[in-house]
Amino acid sequence: MIASIRAYADALLDKEEMKLAHIKKNKVSVKELESKITAENRAIELLEASVTKIFTSFASGKISKDAFLHKKDIINDTIARKRFEIEKWSERLYTLTTGRRTVENSIGELESLRTLETLNREIVNLLIDRILIHSDSNIEAVLYGLRFPSQFRRYRAAQQKW
């Protein structure tokens, strides 16, 4: 379990160090990122509306089912790419708005997890969202994103057979 936590901390530390390097290297303005996010959200709304339009064309017999499904797949792929870009820009925006100091503090917290020798209640509360018991010999710990409020994605990690 401790080895899994160290590996998890290494991965998160790499992510935070990349954020810090980005802050140092690229001076992108908050307004620029906000406008990009807004523009992409509008583009997604238009794409979603176009699915309705092509469905109407399909329902009225103007296009075939295959043409409808093909166009719908292209639109859905485009929407997925745009959402991915929005997520990247949102992370950059979060990093810029919370600042370099917050990222540096996160790096400091993660550094201490890399040398973890024993688990205590504080570490468990910090890291583990829930523990799932699949069978007598398979336990899975579902970890939090370590106090990164922009995402709070739950990462599945530390699966270990005991």
Residues across the chain: 162
Q: Would you place residue 1 in the very low, low, confident or very high pLDDT band (cuts 50, 70, 90)?
A: low
Pairing between strand 128-135 and 155-161? unpaired
What 3-state class would DSSP assign to 151? coil
pLDDT tens for 24-54 read: 676 677 788 899 999 999 999 999 999 999 9
Claim: this prediction has a pTM higher than 0.75: no
Rounded-to-integer distance, Cα 104 and Cα 110, Å: 10
pLDDT at 140: 74
pLDDT confidence of 64, banded at 50, 70, 90?
A: very high
Q: Which residue has the tokens 């399909």?
A: 58
Average predicted confidence (pLDDT) for the chain:
76
- Is 142's pLDDT higher than 80? no
Rg of the Cα atoms in the chain: 22
Range 50-60 average pLDDT: 92
Q: Is residue 23 scored above 70 in pLDDT?
A: no
